[in-house]
Structure 1
Amino acid sequence: MSKYLLDKFLYTVDRDPELVERYRDDPAGTVTWWEAEMANKLLNCTSDERTTWLAFTEEERTALSECDHVALFGLGAHPFLTLTLFIAMFERDHGPLEYQLAYAKAMEHITLPYPDIAT
Structure 2
Amino acid sequence: MSKYYVNKFLFTVDRDTHLLARYIESPRSFVSAWEQSIGPKLLGNDVEASSAHAFTDEERRALVDHDFVSLFEMGAHFFLNLTIFIGIYDEPYAQKYGPLAFQREFAQKLRHWRGKDYPSIAT
**When the two structures are superposed, what TM-score results if normalisation uses the length of structure 1?**
0.94
Aligned to 2:2: 2
Aligned to 2:38: 38
* Alpha-carbon shift at residue 53 of structure 1 (Å): 1.8
- Trace 1:1-119 onto structure 2 (pairs within 5 A): 1-44=1-44, 46-95=45-94, 96-111=99-114, 112-119=116-123
SS at match of 2:40: coil
Q: Which has the higher helix share?
A: 2
Moved runs in structure 1, 4+ residues, more than 6 A? none
Q: What 5-or-longer segments of structure 1 have no aligned partner?
A: none
* Alpha-carbon shift at residue 113 of structure 1 (Å): 2.0
Counterparts of 2:121 and 2:53, CA distance in 1: 18
Q: What 5-or-longer segments of structure 2 have no aligned partner?
A: none
Q: Which has the higher strand share?
A: 2
Counterparts of 2:100 and 2:117, CA distance in 1: 27
Task: Report percent identity of matched pairs.
Answer: 46
| Count of equivalent residues | 118
Counterparts of 1:43 and 1:105, CA distance in 2: 34
- Note the aligned Cα RMSD (angstroms): 1.0
Counterparts of 1:51 and 1:21, CA distance in 2: 25
